[in-house]
Amino acid sequence: MTTLAAGPAHAELGRRLEKGVVELGLALGRSERSKLLQYLALLEKWNQVYNLTAIRDKGKMVSGHLLDCLSVVPYLTGTRMLDAGSGAGLPGIPVAVARPDIQVALLDSNQKKAAFLRQAVADLQLKNATVVCERLEAWDAGEKFDLIISRAFAEIAEFIALTTHLLAPRGVFAAMKGIYPFEEIEHLPPGFRVQQVHSVAVPGLEAERHLVLIERA
């Protein structure tokens, strides 16, 4: 099990995370926050070999990864979620920690990333997360998903094209974006419409963030 070394740096990360969680209006206990910091330690360790994220500084990871992913939690619906092109587990792992009531599938076709995801799920003892190493367009999930989310994965039209076969009839797509994606929304595939666009403020991040929710028309 990977743990963060105790000390001033660890305490500071903990404070930064706790403050951010409060600002987001989330009720995360000490156990959940500890798991999120453990996840960061694991990410930092594997990043040295596998290049999972461009952010190297753990302090920046708190805002740039953890709080960024947690910021969408209030808008998530349903009980089955697919994190499409999960990569290092973002947003799927923070969501799985924050919302144990949601079953989260972390899908990535890259073997090394899938290996990291399996290690993270095991180390954090996430009973509500599973890892899938498949190509999105070729995967048959058996049971469809209430919510399919992506972060820095693809333009919205491509995201929908690759995953529509996995979406439940009344399911929702959730695309995490930076600035308001006017052009991408204009090019939505036929049969889909924007349900809502949420402007999201991420504590400690001086950047625009939007969550685009899309449903079948």
CATH for the 8-216 domain, from 3.40.50.11540, 3.40.50.150, 3.40.630.30, 3.50.50.60? 3.40.50.150
Give the Cα separation of 57 and 3 in Å (integer): 17
CB 58 within 8 A of CB 14: no
Q: Could you list the pLDDT tens digit for every one of the 217 residues in the chain?
A: 444 456 778 899 999 999 999 999 999 999 999 999 999 999 999 998 887 887 878 888 999 999 999 999 999 999 999 999 999 999 999 999 999 999 999 999 999 999 999 999 999 999 999 999 999 999 999 999 999 999 989 999 999 999 999 999 999 999 999 999 999 999 999 999 999 999 999 999 999 999 999 999 9
Is the Cβ–Cβ distance between 40 and 68 less than 8 Å? no
- Find the helix or strand (DSSP H, E) in which 104 lies: strand 103-107
pLDDT the model gives residue 4: 46
pLDDT at 59: 84
For residue 65, give both structure tokens.
């990864």
